[in-house]
Every structure is written in C-alpha cells, then in structure tokens.
Amino acid sequence: MKKNQHLDIAIIGAGLSGLAAAHFIKKIHPDYHIQIFEKSKRVGGAIQTHTQDGFIAEAGPHGYLDNVDESRELLNDLNINQHIRKASLNNFIRYLCLNGRLFPIPQHPLKIIKSDIMPFWSKVRVLGDFIKKPVESEQTIADWAQHRFGKAILPFIDAVITGTFAGDINKLSIDAVYPGIKKLEKEYGSVIKGFFKSKKTRKKKGLPAMTNFKQGMSFFIEKMAEQHSIQLETTVLAIKPDQDSWKITSDKQIFKASNIIVATNINQALNLLNPVEKSPFLKVPESRIANVVLGFEASGIDIPPGFGYLAPQKENRFALGAMFSTHMFPERAPEGHVMLEVMVGGRHHPDYMELVDEDLIEKCMIDLTSLMNISQNPVFTHVIKTKEAFPQLEIGHLKIQAYQKNIAAKYPGLFITGFGWNGIGMNEMIKEAKTVADQFSTKNERSANPEQVKGIYF
C-alpha cells in the first residue's frame, strides 16, 4: 500500500470478525478499497490450529454449529465444501460429571427436566418458572436460574457456561449473555411457555451439527484471508475522527480512511476507543484456558461414545471437561489412534495456567483415569496455552454494550464488532460482521437483533 493512501475502509484486526466483515462488504461493494491491519504475524486471532505428528488440535474453537444463516452463507461463498467436517448433535451426546461419574445429558435444556438425572421434587420446582415474576434489575446467571427453576438446575447451567465461557455463573450477567431469554421471560411471564410459543413460529430443523475442517479451524480463516489485503505485524495505536474521515496511527505509518471497523477483542478495542469517547470501564474480565492434548493408541483407552464431558464447579475437579475430539472428527489423529483435548483453568482457576506442562498433563491424566478406563500412557502430549482469553460478559456489561451502541451512532464512519461485546461464539461474530456489512449498503442504524433467542446446546 502506498504511503498516506486514503482508504474506503480500514479494518483493525484480522481475526474472524475482521475477515468476515471484509468478506461481506466486498460481496456488496467489490470496488471498495479495504485494508486490514493485524498486529500479529498471522491471521486468525483466537483461532489457531496446532498440527503435530498427525494429531490436529485447536488452540481456540473446536467447532461452531451449522444453524446460523450468515455462517452458512460465508461457508458457501468460500466454496470449500470438500474440506468441511460435521458432527451432528443428533448422533453425539455429551456427559455431565456428577458425583464423580459421567451421566449422558440430553442435548436440549428442556429435555433435562424429563430425564432421570434430576430428583422428582427438583423437577416440580422447575415448573415454578410458570409463576415466578421476572426480576427487573440485571441478574447473574446463577441468581436468575435459581429464581426461575430452583437450585437443582445450577449444575446444568454451570456446565453450559463452562462449555461456552469457561466462566462463573455467579458473575456473568444473564441480561448481557442471553438477552433473548430475558425477553421471553418478560413477554410470556415464563421462559418455558415463551420457548414453546416462540418455537411454533420457528421452522423445525432438527439438531444442528458441529462444524470444523479436515485441516482444522485455521484452514477456514486462511481461506477467508486469501481474498483480502492484510498488513500483518502492524499495530494500530490510535484512531481519531478527522473532519469527515478517520486518522489511523499505526506503529508503521499514519493512514486515512473514510470508514473504520474496529474488529478486535473488546479489551483491545476499548484501548483504542476510550480516547475517542470515554468508556464506562477500560477492561472487562477475562478467562483463559489451557488445552491439554492427549493422544493414545486406540487400544489404550476406552473413551465413552459422544462429544465429551463437562464438570460443574461444585464437583471440584481439576479439568473443566474434555472433548472426545476423534469421536467428533476421526481424522484428528493418525490411523489406530484417538485424541482427547482436556480443558483446564477458566474463571475459577486462573492459577492453573501457571502450572508447568508436565504437571498439567499429570493432573489431567489422574482426573481422566477416574472417569474412564485408561490402560496405557498417552503416546502424544501437548499443552496449548494461548494469550487469547474469553471476555466475560459479567454484571455491569450492559453499560459497555450501551457504550458500543452510542459511540457507533455518534461517530459517522465508525463501526465496532468483535469478540466480547455482545457474545463470544463464532456464529455471533459472523452475524455481527454481516450486520456491519449491511450497514454499508443501507447506512442504517445497527440492525442486528441481539435479543433473538440463541439456541443453547451443550
């Protein structure tokens, strides 16, 4: 790129959000001059596949569900069908670790009520949802769930939140994380009633499938990146409105752009946005996990069928849970081998991230050995600890979401999307990126509907 060239659109961050935004905008405006700036040596941000000795593991996402139109559109456009690998929730169960044992859990929250892993009187208490009045003020997920369904539901809710946020249900805000569920509660006076009523208006599609790629999730990102102009190893240090455009100061050059899309993780975005407009706080809490990758000869371990397991906090176990990776995607290990990816750390145990690899592996092995039959040591071990963390949408996050809306409305040409503002999942990032792109064609206010009810699958 030439020095001081004026860009139509500057995108900060070549993670999923930045790349997906570039993709959808380019589709509508192939003539726009879009430049992406990325501080790292590589694209992908939190998404990074680790391949070694025929084992394929993920530092970040292990998959996303194929039930979101925007994600399907993106995948179709990339034309990489032969590389897609899917694992359907219809065929795969997940387990909850309760009292030191693995219990298969139904893939849908309401089916938990029908199953026999909850005592009779606790099921009766769940029906309290029909009469409990909604609480107006912002609530933690734990307070909200206990108020509506009773205490016995908490381990299940904890497992869902461990599997998505590696978070703490006593801190995360139900209003910020699941605004759609709070909306159902308000509209229908009951979440269960609201769920069934709104279900009638939704098309019946069956359970979705977890999506990844033969070569791992990085492949998806690299395919997207091929189509765009990306300046790697360029850190944007400051952004400033400058008459009717934006001045972007990086560690390499100063640029001007008519529009700027801040597509970084929320905390990196707040660093850039706060000097433009003071934000209510400078940082949201984060949660980090280590992925302890264990490869075995197939004869050396008896992994139960299914996707994996999650352990609620009250079980006090070392690992948060494990993905049975080769049950989902068999090509992730060499012939005759299987692989598990064990998650450690999270919001409750940041101290575990300080442990050396050998300790992490040993403690995970002890944990797993009490849950399944392991007759041989692993033949492959690798610990992935990334600097990327899950932003936590904890109590108070509504203020930061309001800040995002206000600043984007106040400054023309400024668009904000990315990890941790309104959600943390890949589908949510792709949806938001599409909304940003749509704003370029319509110049509309934010049209995304964060209050849509998100499916909850474990």
Ligand X SMILES: Cc1cc2nc3c(=O)[nH]c(=O)nc-3n(C[C@H](O)[C@H](O)[C@H](O)COP(=O)(O)OP(=O)(O)OC[C@H]3O[C@@H](n4cnc5c(N)ncnc54)[C@H](O)[C@@H]3O)c2cc1C
Residues that bind ligand X (CB under 6 A): 12-18, 37-40, 45-47, 60-64, 235-236, 263-265, 268, 289, 388, 390, 418-419, 424-426, 429
CB of 290 to ligand X, least distance (A): 9
CB of 339 to ligand X, least distance (A): 16
Beta carbons of 392 and 171 less than 8 angstroms apart: yes
CB of 391 to ligand X, least distance (A): 9
Cα 255 from Cα 5, distance rounded (Å) = 7
Which CB, 162 or 190, lies closer to ligand X?
A: 162
CB of 131 to ligand X, least distance (A): 35
Which CB, 14 or 355, lies closer to ligand X?
A: 14
Which CB, 112 or 289, lies closer to ligand X?
A: 289
Which CB, 325 or 439, lies closer to ligand X?
A: 325
Cα 132 from Cα 449, distance rounded (Å) = 26
Which CB, 109 or 167, lies closer to ligand X?
A: 167
| Residue where the block lists tokens 């939190």 | 46
Q: Which of 49, 50, 23, 44 is nearest to 34 (CA)?
A: 23
CB of 218 to ligand X, least distance (A): 11
Cα 34 from Cα 32, distance rounded (Å) = 6
Cα 155 from Cα 380, distance rounded (Å) = 32
264 burial via Cβ count (<10 Å: 0-12, 13-18, 19+): buried
Cα 212 from Cα 329, distance rounded (Å) = 8
DSSP β-ladder status, 286-287 and 308-310: unpaired
CB of 94 to ligand X, least distance (A): 13
C-alpha distances out from residue 6 to 118, 248, 260, 341, Å: 62, 11, 12, 46
Q: Which of 294, 292, 310, 308 is nearest to 385 (CA)?
A: 292
Q: Which are the contacts of 358, defined by CB distance < 8 A and separation ≥ 6? A: none
Beta carbons of 258 and 8 less than 8 angstroms apart: yes
Which CB, 160 or 191, lies closer to ligand X?
A: 160
Residues in the chain, overall count: 458
CB of 400 to ligand X, least distance (A): 15
Which CB, 176 or 374, lies closer to ligand X?
A: 176
CB of 426 to ligand X, least distance (A): 3
Which CB, 148 or 431, lies closer to ligand X?
A: 431
C-alpha distances out from residue 417 to 261, 263, 379, Å: 7, 5, 42
Beta carbons of 301 and 373 less than 8 angstroms apart: yes
